[in-house]
Amino acid sequence: MTNLIMQKKRRALHSIFSIGLLLFASTIFLSCLPGGASSKDGASSGSLSSDSEVDSEAEKVFYVRTAEVSVGDMDDIISLSGEIYATGRVNAVPDINGLLTKVLVSPGDSVSAGEIIAYVDPSRPGMSYAESPVKSKTSGTVTAVPAVSGNQVSV
């Protein structure tokens, strides 16, 4: 019997809490709508109760100048500074470690896939090997050559 009374009390408290929460949420929701918040004199801000309110809530006006399309010279020039980076970039690396002996390209040169762009000497003290060519992986334009002849390079 006491269990039944406790369940009824819980349901009643739950119902009261739910109704209160619903009223609170609807009040917040309605106050966020245009015309839902009250002004100082008690009138709704969305109502047209006086001319001063209409003036204070005037719409923003944007002026636009239009012209007919015509062929002509562009007189306006915008000069900006910045850096441009290629969207596709491929680094050329040697097949073997060694000393870079010859660099055959410079920035701005056009290369084709498989073209020899440098030579690497893989020789070590006491050993002598033929120079190994470094080939371009793709066709394109050389953007930078970070190494110079005499630098040690590695794979």
Number of domain units in the chain? 2
109 φ, ψ (degrees, to nearest 5): -70, 145
Q: Is residue 136 part of a domain?
A: yes
The answer to whether position 86 is within a domain reads no
pLDDT of 89 strictly over 70: yes
What are the pLDDT digits (tens) for 32-76? 877 655 544 444 444 444 555 555 567 888 888 998 888 888 778
Q: Which residues contact 69 (CB under 8 A, 6 or more apart)?
A: none
60 located within any domain: no
Give pLDDT tens digits for 91-137: 888 888 888 999 999 998 999 999 999 999 988 878 888 888 999 98
70 and 95 in contact (C-beta within 8 Å)? no
Of residues 74 and 18, more confidently modeled: 18
Residue 117 domain flag: yes
How many whole angstroms separate alpha carbon 100 and alpha carbon 152? 6
Asked if 107 and 115 touch (Cβ cutoff 8 Å), the reply is: no
Question: Contact at 8 Å (CB) between 138 and 113?
Answer: yes
Nearest CA to 103 out of 117, 82, 88, 121 is that of 117
The domain in which residue 133 lies consists of 98-153
User: 147: number of CA atoms within 13 Å, CB side?
Assistant: 22
On whether residue 62 sits in a domain, the answer given is no
The DSSP annotation for 5-55 comes to: HHHHHHHHHHHHHHHHHHHHHHHHHHHHSTT-SB-TTS-BTTS---HHHHH
The CATH number covering residue 119 comes to: 2.40.50.100
